[in-house]
Structure 1
Amino acid sequence: MSTGETGEDDHAVVRFGVLGPVQAVVNGEPVALGGPGVRGLLAMLLLRPNEVVPVEDILDGLWGDDPPLTARTIVQNYVSRLRRQLRLVDPTGSVWIDTQLPGYQLIVDEDLIDVSRATWLLNRARHDHPVRRAEMLREALSLWRGPVLADVSPRINAPELEDLRFAVLEARIEADLELGRHAELIGELATFAEAYPFREQMIAHLMLALYRTGRRADALESYQRFARRAAEDLGIDPGPALRELHERVLNDDSTLLLPVPAPLVPPKVGVIVPAQLPPAPVGFHGRDEELVWLDQLLAEDHGAATPIGVISGPAGIGKTALAALWGRMVDHEFPDGQLFVSLRGFHPEYAPLEPGDVLTQFLLTLGVPANEVPVDTDDRAALYRSLLAHRRVLVMLDDARDSAQVRLLLPGGSRALVLITSRVRLEGMVARSGAWLLDLEALPVPDSIRVIDTIVGAGRIDHARLEQLATLCGGWPQALRIVGARLAARQEWVADELISEIGDQRTRLAALTAEHSDTSVRAGFDLTYRRLAEPDSFRLLGLFPGPSISPAAMAAMQSVDVAEARRNLRVLADAFLVTETNRDVFVMHDLIRLHAKELAPVGEERSAAYDRLVLYYLSSADATRRFFGPAAYPLGKSDNSGFGDAAQAVAWFEREWPTLLALLDVAAPSDAWRLARMAHDFWVVSPSRASLVHKGLSIAVSAGDLEGEAWLRAARCSLEYSKETVSDAARVIEIANSLSDTRLAAVGYEALATVQNGVAGYEKALEYYGELGEPALSGPAHARLALLQAEMGNYGTAERHARTAVDVSNTVFAEASGREALGRVLSMRGANSAAQQQWQQAAELYAQVSVERAEQMRDLIDGV
Structure 2
Amino acid sequence: MTVQFRLLGDVEAHVRGQPIGIGYPQLRCVLAVLLVEANHAVSVDQLVDRVWGDRRLPRNPRAAVQHSMTLLRSALSGAADVAITRKPPRCYQLDVEPETVDFHRFRRLVEDGRAADDDARAAALLEQALTLWCGEPFAGLTSPWLESTRATLILHRHEARLDLADVRLRLGLHAALLPDLAAWTAKNALDERLACQFMTALYRSGRPAEALDHYQRVRGRLADELGTDPSPPLRRLHEQVLAADPALAAPTVRSGPATVPVTVPRHLPAQPLFFTGRTRELADLDTALGKDDADDSVPISVIGGIGGIGKTWLALHWAYRHLDRFPDGQLYVNMRGFDPAAQPMPAETVVRVFLDALGVAPAAVPLDLDAQIGLYRSLVAGKKMLIFLDNAADTSQVAALLPGSPTCTALVTSRRHLSGLVAAHGARFLSLDRMTDQEAYRLLARHLGDDRLTAQPGVATELLSCCGGLPLAISMVGARATRNADFPLTVLADELRDQSGVLNALDTSDDLVSLRAVFSWSYRALSAGAAAVFKALGLAPGTDTCLHAIASLTALPTARARTCLRELEQAHLVGQHAAGRYRMHDLVRLYARERAHQDNPPAATTDALRRLVDFYLHTAHTADQVLDPHRDPIRIGTPADGCAFTTIEDEPAAMRWLATEFRNLLTVQELAARQGWHTPGWQVAWTLDTFFRRRGNYHDAVRAWRAGVASADRMSDTATQTLARRRLGNACGGLGLHAEALRHLRHALAVSEKTGDALGQAHAHATLGGVWEVRGDDRRALEHALPALRLYQDLDLPVWVAWTHGQVGWHQAKSGLYPQARTHCEAALALARRHRDRELEATTVDSLGYIAHHTGRLGQALDHYRQALALLRELGHDYNEVDTLDRLGQTYRALGHDDLAGATWRRAVQLCQSQQRADVAGRIQRQLDVLRQEQRAPAAQVSRT
TM-score under structure 1 length normalisation? 0.45
Q: Which has the higher helix share?
A: 2
